[in-house]
Amino acid sequence: MKLHNTLTKKVDEFAPIDGKNARIYSCGPTVYNHAHIGNLSSYIYADILRRAVNLAGFSTEHVMNFTDVDDKTIRDSRANFPDLDPMAALEKLTRHYEKIFLNEMAQVGNDVSKIKFVRATENIAEIQDLIRKLLDLGVAYVADDGIYFSIAEYRKARKYGQLSTIELPAEMQSRIDNDEYDKASAQDFALWKRAKDGEPSWEFEIDADASQLCSRDSVDATKLSDKIGEKEAIISMLGRPGWHIECSVMSVKNLGQPFDIHTGGVDLIFPHHENEIAQSTAGDQPETYAKFFVHNEHLLVDGKKMSKSAHNFYTLPDIIKKGFSPLDFRMLVLQSHYRSATNFSWENLEAAKNRLKRWRNVAELRWQNCLDGADFSDPLNYLVLAGDDLLNDLDTPNALKNLDQFIENVNATNYYNNIENFIKFVDENLGLDLYNTTPDITNEQKNFIKLRETARVEKNWTESDRLRDILKSQGIVLRDEGEMTIWLRV
Ligand SMILES: [Zn+2]
Protein backbone atom coordinates (compact mmCIF):
# COMPACT_ATOMS: atom_id res chain seq x y z
CA MET A 1 0.00 0.00 0.00
CA LYS A 2 1.25 3.46 -0.89
CA LEU A 3 0.66 6.56 1.18
CA HIS A 4 1.92 10.13 1.08
CA ASN A 5 3.95 10.99 4.15
CA THR A 6 4.33 14.66 5.10
CA LEU A 7 7.53 13.74 6.96
CA THR A 8 9.26 12.61 3.75
CA LYS A 9 7.13 14.76 1.41
CA LYS A 10 6.63 11.81 -0.92
CA VAL A 11 4.48 8.77 -1.53
CA ASP A 12 6.01 5.89 0.42
CA GLU A 13 5.26 2.22 0.77
CA PHE A 14 3.24 1.73 3.93
CA ALA A 15 3.28 -1.26 6.25
CA PRO A 16 2.64 -1.25 10.00
CA ILE A 17 5.72 -1.17 12.24
CA ASP A 18 4.85 -4.60 13.64
CA GLY A 19 3.87 -5.91 10.19
CA LYS A 20 0.27 -6.61 11.23
CA ASN A 21 -1.58 -3.91 13.05
CA ALA A 22 -1.63 -0.24 12.05
CA ARG A 23 -1.99 2.17 14.95
CA ILE A 24 -3.66 5.38 13.77
CA TYR A 25 -4.28 8.63 15.61
CA SER A 26 -6.56 11.36 14.28
CA CYS A 27 -6.85 14.80 15.80
CA GLY A 28 -10.52 15.02 16.70
CA PRO A 29 -12.98 17.87 17.08
CA THR A 30 -13.19 20.64 19.63
CA VAL A 31 -16.65 19.90 20.93
CA TYR A 32 -18.27 23.31 21.34
CA ASN A 33 -20.47 23.40 18.23
CA HIS A 34 -21.39 21.42 15.09
CA ALA A 35 -18.37 20.36 13.07
CA HIS A 36 -18.31 22.28 9.78
CA ILE A 37 -18.25 20.34 6.53
CA GLY A 38 -14.50 20.94 6.14
CA ASN A 39 -13.87 19.10 9.42
CA LEU A 40 -16.25 16.34 8.37
CA SER A 41 -14.40 15.88 5.08
CA SER A 42 -11.17 15.41 7.04
CA TYR A 43 -12.79 12.64 9.10
CA ILE A 44 -14.22 11.04 5.96
CA TYR A 45 -10.69 10.79 4.58
CA ALA A 46 -9.44 9.35 7.89
CA ASP A 47 -12.19 6.73 7.70
CA ILE A 48 -11.22 5.92 4.08
CA LEU A 49 -7.60 5.57 5.18
CA ARG A 50 -8.58 3.11 7.91
CA ARG A 51 -10.64 1.09 5.42
CA ALA A 52 -7.78 1.05 2.89
CA VAL A 53 -5.34 -0.19 5.52
CA ASN A 54 -7.81 -3.01 6.25
CA LEU A 55 -8.13 -3.70 2.52
CA ALA A 56 -4.35 -4.01 2.37
CA GLY A 57 -4.68 -6.86 4.86
CA PHE A 58 -3.69 -5.12 8.08
CA SER A 59 -5.73 -4.73 11.23
CA THR A 60 -6.14 -1.25 12.69
CA GLU A 61 -6.39 0.49 16.01
CA HIS A 62 -7.77 3.98 15.53
CA VAL A 63 -7.84 6.61 18.27
CA MET A 64 -9.45 10.05 18.07
CA ASN A 65 -9.56 12.71 20.74
CA PHE A 66 -12.25 15.08 21.87
CA THR A 67 -10.80 18.45 22.78
CA ASP A 68 -13.21 19.12 25.63
CA VAL A 69 -11.33 21.87 27.37
CA ASP A 70 -9.89 24.92 25.58
CA ASP A 71 -10.60 28.62 25.10
CA LYS A 72 -13.71 28.03 22.96
CA THR A 73 -15.34 25.30 25.05
CA ILE A 74 -14.79 27.37 28.17
CA ARG A 75 -16.12 30.55 26.56
CA ASP A 76 -19.29 28.89 25.24
CA SER A 77 -19.98 26.76 28.30
CA ARG A 78 -19.92 29.83 30.51
CA ALA A 79 -22.15 31.76 28.13
CA ASN A 80 -24.66 28.90 27.82
CA PHE A 81 -24.75 27.74 31.41
CA PRO A 82 -23.88 30.75 33.59
CA ASP A 83 -25.60 29.24 36.63
CA LEU A 84 -23.59 26.03 36.69
CA ASP A 85 -20.17 25.78 38.21
CA PRO A 86 -17.47 26.07 35.51
CA MET A 87 -16.59 22.37 35.46
CA ALA A 88 -20.23 21.24 35.26
CA ALA A 89 -20.95 23.79 32.53
CA LEU A 90 -17.97 22.58 30.52
CA GLU A 91 -19.06 18.97 30.82
CA LYS A 92 -22.64 19.77 29.88
CA LEU A 93 -21.66 21.66 26.73
CA THR A 94 -18.96 19.26 25.52
CA ARG A 95 -20.94 16.05 26.10
CA HIS A 96 -23.82 17.54 24.17
CA TYR A 97 -21.65 18.29 21.14
CA GLU A 98 -19.82 14.97 21.41
CA LYS A 99 -23.15 13.23 20.87
CA ILE A 100 -23.96 15.43 17.90
CA PHE A 101 -20.51 14.78 16.46
CA LEU A 102 -20.79 11.00 16.78
CA ASN A 103 -24.20 11.11 15.18
CA GLU A 104 -22.96 13.23 12.27
CA MET A 105 -19.92 10.99 11.84
CA ALA A 106 -22.22 7.99 11.46
CA GLN A 107 -24.53 9.90 9.12
CA VAL A 108 -21.69 10.68 6.69
CA GLY A 109 -20.74 7.00 6.68
CA ASN A 110 -17.77 6.97 9.04
CA ASP A 111 -17.67 3.77 11.06
CA VAL A 112 -17.37 5.11 14.60
CA SER A 113 -17.36 1.59 16.03
CA LYS A 114 -13.80 1.28 14.69
CA ILE A 115 -12.60 4.35 16.60
CA LYS A 116 -11.66 4.66 20.24
CA PHE A 117 -12.61 8.16 21.41
CA VAL A 118 -10.68 9.76 24.25
CA ARG A 119 -11.22 12.99 26.17
CA ALA A 120 -8.62 15.54 27.22
CA THR A 121 -10.36 16.06 30.56
CA GLU A 122 -10.03 12.37 31.36
CA ASN A 123 -6.27 12.38 30.83
CA ILE A 124 -5.24 15.29 33.02
CA ALA A 125 -2.95 13.21 35.27
CA GLU A 126 -1.07 11.83 32.26
CA ILE A 127 -0.85 15.30 30.72
CA GLN A 128 0.62 16.59 33.96
CA ASP A 129 3.13 13.71 34.01
CA LEU A 130 4.42 14.65 30.56
CA ILE A 131 4.66 18.33 31.50
CA ARG A 132 6.65 17.38 34.64
CA LYS A 133 8.93 15.31 32.45
CA LEU A 134 9.45 18.20 30.03
CA LEU A 135 10.28 20.44 32.99
CA ASP A 136 12.78 17.86 34.25
CA LEU A 137 14.34 17.66 30.81
CA GLY A 138 14.76 21.43 30.78
CA VAL A 139 12.67 21.99 27.65
CA ALA A 140 9.80 23.60 29.54
CA TYR A 141 9.72 26.57 31.86
CA VAL A 142 7.37 28.20 34.28
CA ALA A 143 6.02 31.65 33.58
CA ASP A 144 3.48 33.80 35.33
CA ASP A 145 0.53 32.70 33.27
CA GLY A 146 1.46 29.06 32.78
CA ILE A 147 4.07 26.56 31.75
CA TYR A 148 5.65 26.85 28.32
CA PHE A 149 7.59 24.65 25.97
CA SER A 150 10.97 26.09 25.01
CA ILE A 151 11.63 25.61 21.33
CA ALA A 152 15.17 26.98 21.73
CA GLU A 153 16.03 24.33 24.34
CA TYR A 154 14.43 21.60 22.24
CA ARG A 155 16.42 22.64 19.19
CA LYS A 156 19.71 22.07 21.01
CA ALA A 157 19.19 18.34 20.52
CA ARG A 158 16.43 17.91 17.93
CA LYS A 159 15.10 19.49 14.78
CA TYR A 160 11.98 21.59 15.26
CA GLY A 161 9.86 21.78 12.11
CA GLN A 162 9.98 18.27 10.67
CA LEU A 163 6.78 18.65 8.65
CA SER A 164 6.76 22.24 7.54
CA THR A 165 9.09 24.94 6.41
CA ILE A 166 8.77 27.55 9.07
CA GLU A 167 10.92 30.42 10.07
CA LEU A 168 12.97 29.82 13.20
CA PRO A 169 14.45 32.98 14.67
CA ALA A 170 17.95 32.66 16.11
CA GLU A 171 16.75 33.86 19.47
CA MET A 172 13.49 32.37 20.68
CA GLN A 173 11.96 35.08 22.74
CA SER A 174 8.28 35.24 22.17
CA ARG A 175 5.73 32.93 23.62
CA ILE A 176 2.06 32.53 23.04
CA ASP A 177 -0.81 31.22 25.12
CA ASN A 178 -3.32 31.06 22.25
CA ASP A 179 -3.44 27.46 21.01
CA GLU A 180 -4.35 28.21 17.44
CA TYR A 181 -1.75 30.76 16.44
CA ASP A 182 -0.83 30.38 12.85
CA LYS A 183 1.95 32.80 12.41
CA ALA A 184 4.72 31.89 10.05
CA SER A 185 7.28 31.75 12.82
CA ALA A 186 7.46 29.37 15.73
CA GLN A 187 6.81 30.52 19.25
CA ASP A 188 7.07 28.94 22.66
CA PHE A 189 3.64 27.52 23.35
CA ALA A 190 1.60 26.86 26.47
CA LEU A 191 1.65 23.35 27.94
CA TRP A 192 -0.40 24.43 30.92
CA LYS A 193 -2.41 27.60 31.38
CA ARG A 194 -2.93 29.14 34.76
CA ALA A 195 -6.64 29.45 35.54
CA LYS A 196 -8.36 32.77 35.17
CA ASP A 197 -11.38 33.62 37.32
CA GLY A 198 -14.33 31.33 36.83
CA GLU A 199 -12.54 28.88 34.54
CA PRO A 200 -12.71 25.12 35.00
CA SER A 201 -9.34 24.08 36.37
CA TRP A 202 -7.27 21.33 37.89
CA GLU A 203 -4.68 21.40 40.64
CA PHE A 204 -1.15 20.85 39.32
CA GLU A 205 1.70 20.38 41.74
CA ILE A 206 5.24 20.62 40.45
CA ASP A 207 8.57 20.43 42.21
CA ALA A 208 9.93 23.90 42.46
CA ASP A 209 13.62 23.19 42.30
CA ALA A 210 15.89 25.60 40.52
CA SER A 211 15.96 23.77 37.21
CA GLN A 212 12.25 24.09 36.77
CA LEU A 213 12.32 27.79 37.39
CA CYS A 214 14.98 28.52 34.83
CA SER A 215 12.53 30.67 32.98
CA ARG A 216 13.89 32.94 30.32
CA ASP A 217 11.66 35.44 31.96
CA SER A 218 13.63 36.13 35.12
CA VAL A 219 10.93 38.33 36.61
CA ASP A 220 8.47 35.45 36.55
CA ALA A 221 10.98 33.13 38.15
CA THR A 222 11.66 35.54 40.97
CA LYS A 223 8.01 36.03 41.66
CA LEU A 224 7.43 32.32 41.81
CA SER A 225 10.48 31.77 44.00
CA ASP A 226 9.05 34.23 46.49
CA LYS A 227 5.95 32.16 46.80
CA ILE A 228 7.81 29.03 47.74
CA GLY A 229 8.36 28.29 51.39
CA GLU A 230 11.79 27.12 52.58
CA LYS A 231 10.58 23.67 53.54
CA GLU A 232 8.04 23.01 50.86
CA ALA A 233 9.59 22.90 47.43
CA ILE A 234 6.28 22.33 45.69
CA ILE A 235 4.34 24.88 43.75
CA SER A 236 0.80 24.46 42.70
CA MET A 237 -0.60 25.95 39.57
CA LEU A 238 -4.33 25.68 39.27
CA GLY A 239 -5.09 25.58 35.57
CA ARG A 240 -5.73 23.50 32.48
CA PRO A 241 -3.74 21.94 29.67
CA GLY A 242 -2.83 23.71 26.45
CA TRP A 243 -4.13 22.11 23.28
CA HIS A 244 -1.04 20.49 21.77
CA ILE A 245 -0.09 18.45 24.83
CA GLU A 246 -3.32 16.43 24.92
CA CYS A 247 -2.62 14.80 21.55
CA SER A 248 0.97 13.88 22.47
CA VAL A 249 -0.32 12.24 25.62
CA MET A 250 -3.42 10.45 24.36
CA SER A 251 -1.82 9.12 21.16
CA VAL A 252 1.18 7.57 22.91
CA LYS A 253 -0.83 6.36 25.90
CA ASN A 254 -3.20 4.42 23.65
CA LEU A 255 -0.98 3.47 20.73
CA GLY A 256 2.62 3.45 22.00
CA GLN A 257 5.53 5.31 20.46
CA PRO A 258 6.29 5.40 17.66
CA PHE A 259 2.84 4.63 16.29
CA ASP A 260 2.05 4.17 12.60
CA ILE A 261 -0.06 6.99 11.19
CA HIS A 262 -1.08 10.42 12.42
CA THR A 263 -3.85 12.12 10.43
CA GLY A 264 -5.30 15.60 10.25
CA GLY A 265 -6.04 18.51 7.95
CA VAL A 266 -3.19 20.52 6.46
CA ASP A 267 -4.10 23.37 8.79
CA LEU A 268 -2.85 21.23 11.67
CA ILE A 269 0.68 20.75 10.30
CA PHE A 270 1.89 23.92 11.96
CA PRO A 271 1.86 24.60 14.80
CA HIS A 272 -0.18 21.71 16.18
CA HIS A 273 1.61 18.69 14.74
CA GLU A 274 5.07 20.25 14.92
CA ASN A 275 4.41 20.89 18.60
CA GLU A 276 3.11 17.38 19.18
CA ILE A 277 6.33 16.00 17.68
CA ALA A 278 8.47 18.31 19.82
CA GLN A 279 6.68 17.39 23.04
CA SER A 280 6.94 13.67 22.34
CA THR A 281 10.53 13.53 21.14
CA ALA A 282 12.27 15.91 23.56
CA GLY A 283 15.11 14.58 25.69
CA ASP A 284 15.32 10.84 26.17
CA GLN A 285 11.97 10.06 24.52
CA PRO A 286 12.04 8.07 21.26
CA GLU A 287 13.23 10.07 18.26
CA THR A 288 10.18 9.19 16.19
CA TYR A 289 6.67 10.14 17.26
CA ALA A 290 4.68 8.73 14.32
CA LYS A 291 6.06 7.03 11.20
CA PHE A 292 3.56 8.59 8.80
CA PHE A 293 1.78 11.92 8.87
CA VAL A 294 -1.14 11.96 6.44
CA HIS A 295 -2.70 15.38 5.84
CA ASN A 296 -5.77 16.22 3.80
CA GLU A 297 -6.26 19.48 1.91
CA HIS A 298 -8.90 22.03 2.77
CA LEU A 299 -12.45 21.88 1.56
CA LEU A 300 -13.33 25.00 -0.41
CA VAL A 301 -16.79 26.40 -0.96
CA ASP A 302 -17.27 27.69 -4.51
CA GLY A 303 -13.51 27.81 -4.80
CA LYS A 304 -13.05 29.95 -1.72
CA LYS A 305 -11.93 29.28 1.81
CA MET A 306 -14.90 28.67 4.07
CA SER A 307 -15.48 31.29 6.73
CA LYS A 308 -18.35 32.64 8.75
CA SER A 309 -17.67 36.19 7.59
CA ALA A 310 -17.87 35.16 3.92
CA HIS A 311 -21.27 33.50 4.58
CA ASN A 312 -20.12 30.28 2.98
CA PHE A 313 -19.84 28.33 6.20
CA TYR A 314 -21.84 25.11 6.25
CA THR A 315 -22.62 22.29 8.64
CA LEU A 316 -24.31 18.97 7.96
CA PRO A 317 -27.78 20.24 9.02
CA ASP A 318 -27.46 22.97 6.35
CA ILE A 319 -26.94 20.29 3.71
CA ILE A 320 -29.85 18.19 4.93
CA LYS A 321 -32.09 21.25 4.97
CA LYS A 322 -31.39 21.70 1.24
CA GLY A 323 -32.69 18.20 0.55
CA PHE A 324 -29.39 16.34 0.29
CA SER A 325 -28.39 13.31 2.29
CA PRO A 326 -25.18 13.07 4.34
CA LEU A 327 -24.07 10.27 2.01
CA ASP A 328 -24.45 12.60 -0.99
CA PHE A 329 -21.90 14.76 0.80
CA ARG A 330 -19.64 11.75 1.36
CA MET A 331 -19.77 10.98 -2.35
CA LEU A 332 -18.80 14.59 -3.11
CA VAL A 333 -15.81 14.33 -0.78
CA LEU A 334 -14.68 11.02 -2.33
CA GLN A 335 -14.77 12.60 -5.78
CA SER A 336 -11.67 14.58 -4.80
CA HIS A 337 -8.33 13.15 -3.87
CA TYR A 338 -7.51 13.89 -0.23
CA ARG A 339 -4.38 15.81 -1.23
CA SER A 340 -6.20 18.23 -3.50
CA ALA A 341 -8.82 20.71 -2.38
CA THR A 342 -12.40 19.44 -2.45
CA ASN A 343 -14.61 22.06 -4.01
CA PHE A 344 -18.01 22.14 -2.39
CA SER A 345 -20.82 23.74 -4.36
CA TRP A 346 -24.51 22.91 -4.56
CA GLU A 347 -23.95 21.98 -8.19
CA ASN A 348 -21.18 19.53 -7.28
CA LEU A 349 -23.34 18.11 -4.53
CA GLU A 350 -26.17 17.57 -7.05
CA ALA A 351 -23.74 15.69 -9.32
CA ALA A 352 -22.57 13.54 -6.40
CA LYS A 353 -26.16 12.82 -5.49
CA ASN A 354 -26.93 11.67 -9.03
CA ARG A 355 -23.90 9.42 -9.08
CA LEU A 356 -24.94 7.81 -5.82
CA LYS A 357 -28.45 7.35 -7.17
CA ARG A 358 -27.08 5.51 -10.25
CA TRP A 359 -25.09 3.23 -7.96
CA ARG A 360 -28.12 2.57 -5.79
CA ASN A 361 -30.22 1.71 -8.83
CA VAL A 362 -27.69 -0.94 -9.76
CA ALA A 363 -27.62 -2.22 -6.17
CA GLU A 364 -31.43 -2.56 -6.33
CA LEU A 365 -31.10 -5.00 -9.20
CA ARG A 366 -30.13 -7.67 -6.70
CA TRP A 367 -33.79 -8.00 -5.72
CA GLN A 368 -34.94 -8.53 -9.27
CA ASN A 369 -35.35 -11.57 -11.35
CA CYS A 370 -33.03 -10.44 -14.11
CA LEU A 371 -29.87 -12.44 -13.73
CA ASP A 372 -27.74 -13.62 -16.65
CA GLY A 373 -27.47 -11.91 -19.96
CA ALA A 374 -24.81 -11.27 -22.52
CA ASP A 375 -21.41 -12.80 -22.08
CA PHE A 376 -19.29 -10.35 -20.19
CA SER A 377 -15.83 -11.51 -19.42
CA ASP A 378 -14.27 -10.70 -16.09
CA PRO A 379 -16.70 -8.13 -14.76
CA LEU A 380 -14.96 -8.26 -11.39
CA ASN A 381 -11.88 -6.70 -12.88
CA TYR A 382 -13.21 -3.19 -12.25
CA LEU A 383 -13.58 -3.95 -8.57
CA VAL A 384 -9.98 -5.14 -8.47
CA LEU A 385 -8.87 -1.95 -10.22
CA ALA A 386 -10.87 0.19 -7.79
CA GLY A 387 -9.19 -1.63 -4.90
CA ASP A 388 -5.78 -0.94 -6.43
CA ASP A 389 -6.69 2.73 -6.69
CA LEU A 390 -7.49 2.92 -2.99
CA LEU A 391 -4.19 1.28 -2.10
CA ASN A 392 -2.42 3.80 -4.29
CA ASP A 393 -2.41 6.73 -1.88
CA LEU A 394 -6.19 6.60 -1.41
CA ASP A 395 -7.01 7.50 -4.99
CA THR A 396 -10.76 7.76 -4.50
CA PRO A 397 -11.50 9.70 -7.73
CA ASN A 398 -10.07 6.89 -9.86
CA ALA A 399 -11.69 4.20 -7.73
CA LEU A 400 -15.03 5.92 -8.37
CA LYS A 401 -14.35 6.00 -12.11
CA ASN A 402 -13.65 2.28 -12.14
CA LEU A 403 -16.85 1.61 -10.24
CA ASP A 404 -18.73 3.71 -12.80
CA GLN A 405 -17.20 1.45 -15.45
CA PHE A 406 -18.46 -1.57 -13.59
CA ILE A 407 -21.95 -0.10 -13.60
CA GLU A 408 -21.82 0.81 -17.28
CA ASN A 409 -20.93 -2.77 -18.08
CA VAL A 410 -23.73 -4.13 -15.95
CA ASN A 411 -26.21 -1.87 -17.68
CA ALA A 412 -24.83 -2.60 -21.14
CA THR A 413 -24.75 -6.37 -20.80
CA ASN A 414 -27.49 -7.21 -18.31
CA TYR A 415 -24.88 -9.24 -16.53
CA TYR A 416 -26.02 -8.89 -12.99
CA ASN A 417 -24.29 -11.71 -11.20
CA ASN A 418 -21.68 -9.56 -9.51
CA ILE A 419 -23.91 -7.02 -7.92
CA GLU A 420 -23.51 -8.50 -4.45
CA ASN A 421 -19.74 -8.16 -4.87
CA PHE A 422 -20.14 -4.57 -6.01
CA ILE A 423 -22.25 -3.69 -2.99
CA LYS A 424 -19.84 -5.41 -0.63
CA PHE A 425 -16.87 -3.61 -2.16
CA VAL A 426 -18.49 -0.19 -2.02
CA ASP A 427 -19.80 -0.58 1.53
CA GLU A 428 -16.61 -2.02 2.98
CA ASN A 429 -14.15 0.29 1.30
CA LEU A 430 -16.06 3.49 0.65
CA GLY A 431 -18.69 3.39 3.38
CA LEU A 432 -21.55 4.47 1.11
CA ASP A 433 -24.01 2.07 2.73
CA LEU A 434 -25.49 0.77 -0.53
CA TYR A 435 -26.86 -2.37 1.11
CA ASN A 436 -29.02 -0.64 3.69
CA THR A 437 -30.17 2.20 1.43
CA THR A 438 -31.54 -0.09 -1.27
CA PRO A 439 -34.23 -2.28 0.31
CA ASP A 440 -36.54 -4.47 -1.74
CA ILE A 441 -39.93 -3.15 -2.81
CA THR A 442 -43.07 -4.31 -1.00
CA ASN A 443 -45.06 -7.40 -1.94
CA GLU A 444 -47.91 -5.17 -3.00
CA GLN A 445 -45.60 -3.29 -5.38
CA LYS A 446 -44.28 -6.61 -6.72
CA ASN A 447 -47.84 -7.65 -7.33
CA PHE A 448 -48.57 -4.43 -9.26
CA ILE A 449 -45.60 -5.21 -11.50
CA LYS A 450 -46.92 -8.72 -12.17
CA LEU A 451 -50.43 -7.44 -12.93
CA ARG A 452 -48.99 -4.84 -15.25
CA GLU A 453 -47.01 -7.50 -17.12
CA THR A 454 -50.14 -9.51 -17.60
CA ALA A 455 -51.99 -6.40 -18.84
CA ARG A 456 -49.14 -5.71 -21.24
CA VAL A 457 -49.25 -9.22 -22.65
CA GLU A 458 -53.01 -8.81 -23.11
CA LYS A 459 -52.35 -5.42 -24.74
CA ASN A 460 -54.60 -3.79 -22.12
CA TRP A 461 -52.75 -0.46 -22.25
CA THR A 462 -55.19 1.43 -20.01
CA GLU A 463 -54.68 -1.02 -17.17
CA SER A 464 -50.96 -1.21 -17.81
CA ASP A 465 -50.63 2.60 -17.63
CA ARG A 466 -52.79 2.78 -14.52
CA LEU A 467 -50.55 0.34 -12.66
CA ARG A 468 -47.42 2.10 -13.89
CA ASP A 469 -48.77 5.41 -12.56
CA ILE A 470 -49.56 3.94 -9.15
CA LEU A 471 -45.97 2.71 -8.86
CA LYS A 472 -44.62 6.03 -10.09
CA SER A 473 -46.54 7.84 -7.36
CA GLN A 474 -44.73 5.56 -4.90
CA GLY A 475 -41.32 6.48 -6.31
CA ILE A 476 -40.87 3.36 -8.45
CA VAL A 477 -40.34 3.58 -12.20
CA LEU A 478 -40.37 0.63 -14.57
CA ARG A 479 -37.98 -0.05 -17.43
CA ASP A 480 -38.92 -2.70 -19.96
CA GLU A 481 -35.98 -4.64 -21.29
CA GLY A 482 -37.23 -7.13 -23.85
CA GLU A 483 -39.08 -9.83 -21.97
CA MET A 484 -38.27 -8.48 -18.53
CA THR A 485 -39.19 -5.43 -16.55
CA ILE A 486 -36.79 -3.77 -14.18
CA TRP A 487 -37.89 -1.38 -11.45
CA LEU A 488 -35.86 1.59 -10.28
CA ARG A 489 -36.33 3.92 -7.37
CA VAL A 490 -36.32 7.56 -8.41
ZN1 LIG B 1 -4.18 16.87 17.79
Counting every residue, how long is the chain? 490
Considering the domain architecture, whether residues 227 and 262 belong to the same structural domain is answered as: no
Considering the domain architecture, whether residues 86 and 170 belong to the same structural domain is answered as: no
CATH of the domain at 35: 3.40.50.620
Counting Cβ atoms within 10 Å, is residue 153 exposed (0-12), middle (13-18) or buried (19+)?
buried
Counting Cβ atoms within 10 Å, is residue 122 exposed (0-12), middle (13-18) or buried (19+)?
exposed
Distance 247 CA to ligand 1 centre (A): 5
Considering the domain architecture, whether residues 395 and 375 belong to the same structural domain is answered as: yes
Q: Virtual CA dihedral for 189, 191, 194, 198, nearest 10 degrees? A: 100
Final residue of a structural domain among 241, 267, 291: 241
Residue 316 lies in a domain: no
Q: Within a 10 A sphere around the Cβ of 471, how many other Cβ atoms?
A: 17
pLDDT of residue 184: 52
Q: pLDDT at residue 219 above 50? A: no
Distance 184 CA to ligand 1 centre (A): 19
Distance 66 CA to ligand 1 centre (A): 9
First to last CA, the chain: 38
Residue 437 lies in a domain: no
Residue 228 lies in a domain: yes
Considering the domain architecture, whether residues 65 and 212 belong to the same structural domain is answered as: no
Residue 231 lies in a domain: yes
pLDDT of residue 416: 62
Final residue of a structural domain among 212, 241, 270: 241
Considering the domain architecture, whether residues 109 and 142 belong to the same structural domain is answered as: no
Considering the domain architecture, whether residues 17 and 53 belong to the same structural domain is answered as: yes
Considering the domain architecture, whether residues 228 and 86 belong to the same structural domain is answered as: no
Range of the domain at 177: 125-241
Distance 289 CA to ligand 1 centre (A): 13
Q: 108-142 pLDDT, tens per residue?
A: 999 999 999 999 999 999 999 999 999 999 999 99
Considering the domain architecture, whether residues 43 and 70 belong to the same structural domain is answered as: yes
Residue 137 lies in a domain: yes
Distance 43 CA to ligand 1 centre (A): 13
Using only C-alpha atoms, the chain has a radius of gyration, in whole angstroms, of 28
Residue 313 lies in a domain: no
For residue 459, give the DSSP letter. T
Residue 311 lies in a domain: no
Considering the domain architecture, whether residues 219 and 265 belong to the same structural domain is answered as: no
Considering the domain architecture, whether residues 222 and 141 belong to the same structural domain is answered as: yes
Residue 44 lies in a domain: yes
**Contact status, residue 193 vs residue 116, Cβ threshold 8 Å:** no
Phi and psi at 423, nearest 5°, equal -60, -45
Considering the domain architecture, whether residues 237 and 251 belong to the same structural domain is answered as: no
**pLDDT confidence bin for 230, thresholds 50/70/90:** very low
Q: How far apart are CA 243 and CA 265, in angstroms?
A: 16
Considering the domain architecture, whether residues 192 and 255 belong to the same structural domain is answered as: no
Q: Higher model confidence: residue 153 or residue 307?
A: 153
Total domains in the fold of the chain:
4
Q: How far apart are CA 69 and CA 182, in angstroms?
A: 20
pLDDT of residue 267: 93
